Amino acid sequence: MKIKSILLGAAILLGASGVAKADKGMWLLNELNKENVERMRELGFTLPLDSLYSFDKPSIANAVVIFGGGCTGITVSEQGLIFTNHHCGYGAIQSQSTVDHDYLRDGFVARTMGEELPIPGLSVKYLRKIEKVTDKVEAQLKGITDEMERLTKAQEICNKLAKEQNAGDNQLCIVEPFYSNNEYFLIVYDVFKDVRMVFAPPSSVGKFGGDTDNWMWPRHTGDFSVFRVYASNNRPAEYSKDNKPYKPVYYAAVSTQGYKADDYAMTIGFPGSTDRYLTSWGVEDRIENENNPRIEVRGIKQAIWKEAMSADQATRIKYASKYAQSANYWKNSIGMNRGLARLDVIGRKRAE
């Protein structure tokens, strides 16, 4: 679990009067040190540190989830209610949409739990534990000087350590490298597979501005959707009509007090990675060999899809999520290249 300055997932806003200054960074919650905390205090953070993450008592980390394949969500009630982004719930909303009941276009609301819609194949993961295993990995890498051989061997060791955890059918155990393969952490998740749709705004709200506004600031989209996690005996289980709403260890209460200038804000969630430490060659590679081809190919592909989607409602619904996923990083690549050029990132990296 990581803290990040900008997160493509649900955000937690912690109300606390502080200094009117933005900061940036990404840290593992269990690795927060004195220097991190002192800086957070300077910016206005007033909560006890173990309210964010604790080994032995409920904390905000227990309310944050991995929604679906990698989005972040936040548990906001004692009955397993979860908020995530509209674009993260988009595939689930599409799966329940038809020409006669177009929830993508018109939105959806379940007025009772009985009206909530089960989403086959959708899962929500709650963090169970995180443990540093760097020493166990590094001990088996001594004497290896070839970097590719070292990385390959490290991955084999990580896979073995994860397998030794004997995770059950409703658990996921992985060992992940951090800090450019200098630290390794064993992470265990509880995987809930009975997830139901509760609310989705119409696309006029959830995708307001479309691709034009995506990845832009300020953004005016009501980018949220609501789901509920169900369990059997409060443990992860496959879908069953007899399952009950999950009672989480901790949930983040939604504030109705609003916020004011200089309030402290931060995000907690599951970003995939950071490329902040790429070299100038790495940045050039990203621009020329990843972003440029993605912009060209996806632009052509999306134009073809768009024509077919505009001509037929059923086709529009079937391709909506596929189109949105493609367009998301198509627009990201366009903006990234522009920003890298405007900020002369390659020049600055060469100087470093």
Q: What share of the chain is helix, strand, coil (3-state, %, to 5)?
A: 40, 20, 40
Distance CA 310, CA 92 (A): 21
Q: CB-side exposure of 78: number of CA atoms within 13 Å?
A: 0
Each residue's pLDDT, cut to its tens digit, for the chain (352 residues) gives: 333 322 222 233 333 333 344 556 677 888 888 888 888 898 888 888 888 888 788 999 999 999 998 899 999 999 999 999 999 999 999 999 999 999 999 999 999 999 999 999 999 999 988 899 999 999 999 999 999 999 999 999 999 999 998 777 899 999 988 888 889 999 999 999 999 999 999 999 999 998 888 888 888 999 999 999 999 999 999 999 999 999 999 999 888 888 888 888 888 888 667 788 899 999 999 999 999 999 999 999 999 999 999 999 999 999 999 999 999 999 999 999 999 999 999 999 999 9
Burial group, residue 289, by CB count within 10 angstroms (0-12, 13-18, 19+): exposed
Check residue 25 and give its pLDDT.
64
- The tokens for 327 are 């367009």
- The tokens for 72 are 């972040």
Q: Is the dihedral of CA 256, 89, 294, 320 positive or negative?
A: negative
CA distances from 248 to 58, 61, 97, 164 (A): 10, 11, 29, 27
Check residue 3 and give its pLDDT.
33
Check residue 166 and give its pLDDT.
74
- The tokens for 286 are 């990203």
**Dihedrals φ, ψ of 197, to 5°?**
-80, 130
CA 56 to chain CA centroid, Å, is 25
Q: Using only the alpha carbons of the chain, give its radius of gyration.
A: 22
Check residue 23 and give its pLDDT.
59
Check residue 265 and give its pLDDT.
85
Check residue 49 and give its pLDDT.
87
**Dihedrals φ, ψ of 225, to 5°?**
-150, 165
Check residue 257 and give its pLDDT.
87
Are 104 and 207 in contact by the 8 Å Cβ rule? The answer is: no
- The tokens for 332 are 């990201």
Q: 194-205 burial string, b = 16+ CB within 10 Å, else e?
A: bbbbbbbbbbee
Distance CA 232, CA 175 (A): 28
